[in-house]
Amino acid sequence: MNNFNFYSPTEFVFGKGRENDCGEYVKKYGGSKVLIVYGGQSAVKSGLLDRVKASLEKNGIEYYAIGGVKPNPRDTLVYQGIDIARKEGLDFILAVGGGSVIDTSKAIAIGVRYEGDFWDFYSGKHATKALPVGTVLTIAAAGSEGSGDSVITKEDGMLKRGTGSDALRPKFSVMNPELTQTLPAYQTACGATDIMAHVFERYFTNTKEVEITDRLCEAVLMTMVKETPRVIADPDNYEARANIMWAGTVAHTNLVGVGREQDWNSHGIEHELSALYDCAHGAGLAVIMPAWMDFVYKHNVMRFAQMATRVFGCAMDFENPENTAVAGIKAFRMFLHGIGMPINFEELGAKEEDIPALVDKFGLGDGRTGGFVKLSSEDIAEIYKIAAHATL
Amino acid sequence: MNNFNFYSPTEFVFGKGRENDCGEYVKKYGGSKVLIVYGGQSAVKSGLLDRVKASLEKNGIEYYAIGGVKPNPRDTLVYQGIDIARKEGLDFILAVGGGSVIDTSKAIAIGVRYEGDFWDFYSGKHATKALPVGTVLTIAAAGSEGSGDSVITKEDGMLKRGTGSDALRPKFSVMNPELTQTLPAYQTACGATDIMAHVFERYFTNTKEVEITDRLCEAVLMTMVKETPRVIADPDNYEARANIMWAGTVAHTNLVGVGREQDWNSHGIEHELSALYDCAHGAGLAVIMPAWMDFVYKHNVMRFAQMATRVFGCAMDFENPENTAVAGIKAFRMFLHGIGMPINFEELGAKEEDIPALVDKFGLGDGRTGGFVKLSSEDIAEIYKIAAHATL
């Protein structure tokens, strides 16, 4: 196990009706003039935004609201948010939505406290201060409600880039699984795929002797394997929604990844897909993650066999563990297909002829990535090719 | 799943040599005049205390030190600590030791900020403020480094009582597994038993549909089942020590217990044993916890069968699940015996004739406890009796 720091100070406020308490928590964490950030009309139509506003009013908190955050959230809205927050002297950002809304809110929060262009932080600069952020989560997926991460797309050139800092960890996150019940099956499955990918990016490691984090990773993955099909079959299943929602947070506070080298190449490779095609991040991961597994599993067959047996219940082939490793990847693809996810370029709406452009955008040049297996540009092209043609 | 809040703001600073950074973290969390609290001579002889002091000096932090905390820590030392902290105007408590030292430090921290008797908080009052506490952990066991809990024994009458509050959660906890390598096998095994008990107290629940927390509980338990015998056989095994140490923290931040009714009767029943005989808490739990399981398993045979198959790898008897439930409890007792723990009164040094006094001290009268199975005084007497005569 490697040395590590683990710090997850967010207060999670979980369960039915908890959005009605959000004003109390804004107050507890020092907010008095709030910028509410939200996405499309669903937060308005469902009455959620009204309930949030009522809770703020009840606690004597002033607010401004900015809507229109889109999936793969853009820098343009971040600049608007920064302007409003500065002009009105706001002291707290309240995200009401999913990962895109939360990531936008975090970007606004660092931007307000920085004299230069907020994009500097998405180009390598480390943030040390930000306005406090709270969240009311409506999609179980990105884990942004418990992480210090944010991913934003720059419209000029459609560059999708991320930043991370403890200063961006939300003060509190309200998590009511009921709010996810209206989510269409496709988006629910995208979220579940993202959650599983957050674990796999940490699970495949070269660090030895990390039994506790291995087991915690597997705990989240087994939960997703059990609960996701239930929720696809029965969208109103509160209990399955609740298990998925909490699993999504546990998957990404980094509790399951401390003390070990991590990978994150699948996320990087996927980001180019969702930047180019504006597809859902989770759908892109469903295509890329198993293709990455096909490409790298020989690097450590026993680790893939462990995943196959412990997570997907595959029988261990002690004479030929590679059979088990391959069976595990197949089981993952079948699971993804079963919950309605694409597993190849055609199903995703991507084009094989774009692969050179995707690799070029990844920007690796003659270098190599880090992680479980260090990849070259040629390796990445090969992973896109496997993804293009994958079948069950 | 029940509604819940989860809040674990402690910064965990984990790995080799990290005690040399503790001054930095005291400073980060606002300490300038520190009370160091420690236990016996091992912290002095090993040079740990000197390293801690050097790190404080390097960061320009003044300190006073108070030693002599014993297992089952007493109120008398708490009063001394409060006096010193007040007299010298100290603003931070740094615990260097295991659960007893940390619990004493927490008690001092609330006492300093309270005009009345600190024991009020161990008699039902809820603490809302305390001096900041940091820890340098030397024993993987109590989980106090990541919890808001503290247990103290009042010498007058040997009353062992606990308190809990978010105000008592440490600001930071330095966790260097190397520091646990000098611990005798018996104490190491006591710590491991305590860690497993913290999970079992949460695992046996009447709340339905808590897959994610079930799986997280099992992750910690499986880790302990794998790593504890390794460390008993090879005390210098850093990797096994590291896995146990982090498992011990995860077991008790309440991450594995949120959203579900919990039990805690075994802890209550054990506290009377360690208060009366001054035995190690973990050793008492090794005797009580399986006896409690024997007494309650019929309340939910399938939950015990789940534990047996998932944690101890018992074969599921689908024709008669009770066989599997019983096999799981037997496997737990054999595990405890295998790591050198007592499993009955004789091995612990307790006496059957004291059972009426133990039950009386528990103080239930005609009432019943809460938890998985609500217990009467007669039930508790019966559990002590099972514990008295248990065999493999």
Q: What is the pLDDT of residues B330-388, one digit of tens each?
A: 999 999 999 999 999 999 999 999 999 999 999 999 999 999 999 999 999 999 999 99
Q: Are B307 and B203 in contact (CB under 8 A)?
A: yes
- Other Cβ atoms closer than 10 A to B79: 15
pLDDT at A158 over 90: no
Q: Which residue of B has its CA nearest to A242?
A: B1
- Could you identify the residue written with the tokens 């099909």? A229
Size of interface A-B (CB pairs under 8 A): 121
Q: Which of A78-92, A117-131, B81-95, B151-165 has the lowest mean pLDDT?
A: B151-165
Identify the residue among A13, A217, A227, A246 best suited for mutation to test binding to B, counting B beta carbons within 10 A and taking the highest. A246
Closest in B1, B14, B212 to A4, CB measured = B14
Q: Minimal Cα distance from A172: which residue of B? A: B7
pLDDT exceeding 90 applies to what percent of chain B?
A: 97
> Given CB atoms, is B29 within the 8 Å cutoff of chain A?
no
Distance from the Cα of B74 to chain A's closest Cα (Å) equals 31
Question: Which of A133, A162, A179 is a domain's end point?
Answer: A179
The 10s digit of each residue's pLDDT in A226-258 is 999 999 999 999 999 999 999 999 999 999 999
Kindly state whether residues B287 and B233 are assigned to the same domain: yes
**Shortest CA distance from A215: residue in chain B:** B219
Query: Is the Cβ pair B239, A16 closer than 8 Å?
Result: no
- pLDDT of amino acid A160: 86
CA distance B356 to A157: 78
**Does residue B1 lie within any of the structural domains?**
no
Number of structural domains found in chain B: 2
CA B308 to chain centre: 23
pLDDT confidence band for B158 (50 / 70 / 90): confident
Q: Give the model confidence (pLDDT) of B252-300 as tens digits.
A: 999 999 999 999 999 999 999 998 999 999 999 999 999 999 999 999 9
B6 within a domain of the structure (yes/no)? no
Cβ <8 Å between A5 and B16 = no
Q: Give CA separation, B196 vs B144, B344, B352, B386, in Å.
A: 14, 18, 26, 20
Rounded mean pLDDT, A99-126 = 97
**Cβ B143 vs Cβ B253: under 8 Å:** yes
The verdict on ipTM greater than 0.90 is: yes
Q: Which of B203, B211, B231 to mutate to test the interface with A (most CBs of A within 10 A)?
A: B211
A222 near B CB under 8 A: yes
Q: What is the pLDDT of residues B170-185, one digit of tens each?
A: 999 999 999 999 999 9
The answer to whether residue A377 scores a pLDDT higher than 90 is yes
- From A7's Cα to the closest Cα of chain B, the distance in A is 5
Alpha-carbon gap: A332 to the closest alpha carbon of chain B (Å): 19
Q: Do B380 and B291 belong together in one domain?
A: yes
Is B173 in the same domain as B231?
no
A4: enclosing H helix or E strand: strand A4-14
**Shortest CA gap B208–chain A (Å):** 9
Q: Residue A108 is which amino acid?
A: I
Task: Classify A161 as helix, strand or coil.
Answer: strand
Residues A215 and A133 in one domain: no
Structure confidence by residue, pLDDT tens digits, A172-226: 999 999 999 999 999 999 999 999 999 999 999 999 999 999 999 999 999 999 9
Residue after which a domain boundary falls, among A137, A162, A179: A179
Give the tens place of pLDDT for each residue, B54-69: 999 999 999 999 999 9
Q: What is chain B's length? A: 392
Question: How far is A123 from B127, CA to CA, in rounded Å?
Answer: 45
Q: Do A14 and B226 touch (CB under 8 A)?
A: no
Cβ within 8 Å, pair A6-B11? yes
A207 shares a domain with A115: no
Closest by CA to B112, choosing from B142, B88, B135, is B88
- B67 and B128 belong to one structural domain: yes
**How high is the mean pLDDT of chain B?**
97
How does the average pLDDT of chain A come out, rounded? 97
C-beta atoms of B11 and A5 within 8 A: yes
pLDDT of residue B336: 98
Tokens 């009840």 correspond to A58
Task: Assign B160 a pLDDT band (cuts: 50, 70, 90).
Answer: confident
CB < 8 Å to A243, chain B: 1, 209-212
Question: What is the extent of the structural domain holding B194?
Answer: 185-389
B248 and B379 inside one domain: yes
Report the pLDDT averaged over residues A105-129: 97
Q: Where among B134, B159, B179 does a domain terminate?
A: B179
H or E element in which residue B8 lies: strand B4-14
Put simply, whether A316 touches B (Cβ < 8 Å) is no
Residue for token pair 């109590």: B142
Q: Are B15 and A218 inside 8 Å of each other by CB?
A: no
Sheet containing A4-14: order of strands: A62-66, A33-38, A92-97, A133-137, A172-175, A4-14, B4-14, B172-175, B133-137, B92-97, B33-38, B62-66
- Domain membership of residue B311 (yes or no) is yes
Tell me the torsion sign for CA atoms B247, B12, B171, A127: negative
CATH number at residue B365: 1.20.1090.10
Rounded distance between C-alpha atoms, residue B150 and residue B118, angstroms: 12
* pTM for the whole structure: 0.97
Q: Is residue B279 part of a domain?
A: yes
Shortest alpha-carbon distance between residue A367 and chain B (Å): 31
What residues in B contact A239, CB-CB < 8 Å? 1, 208-209
CATH number at residue B160: 3.40.50.1970
B192 and B143 inside one domain: no
Q: Are residues B348 and B272 in the same domain?
A: yes
Residue A2 in contact with partner chain B when CB distance is under 8 A: yes
Query: Quick one: B94 and B56 in the same domain?
Result: yes
A338 Ramachandran zone, left/alpha/beta (phi>0; psi -120 to 50): alpha
Q: Which of B4, B8, B14 sits opposite A8 (nearest CB)?
A: B8
Let me know whether B142 and B54 are in one domain. yes
Dump strand ranges (E) for B15-61. Answer: 33-38
**Nearest one of A6, A45, A38 to A22, comparing CA atoms:** A38
Give yes or no: residues B122 and B148 share one domain: yes
Is A3 a domain residue? no
* Chain B touched by A247 (CB under 8 Å): yes
